[in-house]
Amino acid sequence: MAGGTRGNEARLDEFKEQLVKAARMYAMCQKAEVENPLDVTGLALAAFEDMPLRQALVFIRSNEQNLQDLAWAFRSSNSAEEFEQRLKKIRELPEQARKPPAREGPQ
């Protein structure tokens, strides 16, 4: 039983790591004003995580809100400490209010 718990923790850690990497790519695509940032993020995830493209695109689409929230935190932070503060803000918000603030001007 304990081995199963460690396996679940490892999968959760891998999921979180993939989510953060994808969010960073998504934020970079948004900043570069890429036409389809979610699709490009899915392609990058497939390429760099050695994941089948279909699986990467499903991951991206099923975690779209999380990606948007994390991308907002990346874009609006100038340091690791600020990023952590933004993550705390996101966690405190109720589900319906988790939309990141609208993008203001060029970034």
Domain ranges of the chain: 2-97
Across the chain, what does the average pLDDT equal?
84
d(CA 62, CA 79): 28
**For the residues 17-35, what does the mean pLDDT come to?**
94
Cα→Cα distances 58→22, 23, 51, 63, 91, Å: 13, 15, 11, 8, 23
Rounded average pLDDT over 76-88: 86
Per the model's pLDDT, the better-predicted residue between 4 and 20 turns out to be: 20
pLDDT confidence of residue 99: 57
pLDDT at residue 85 tops 90 = no
Distance CA 31, CA 81 (A): 21
Out of 8-12, 16-20, 24-28, 36-40, which region has the weakest mean confidence (pLDDT)? 8-12
Q: Are 76 and 85 in contact (CB under 8 A)?
A: no
- Give the pLDDT confidence score for residue 4 in this predicted structure: 67
CA-wise closest residue to 69 among 91, 43, 49, 48: 91
- 3-state class (DSSP) for residue 104: coil
Average pLDDT on 13-18 reads 91
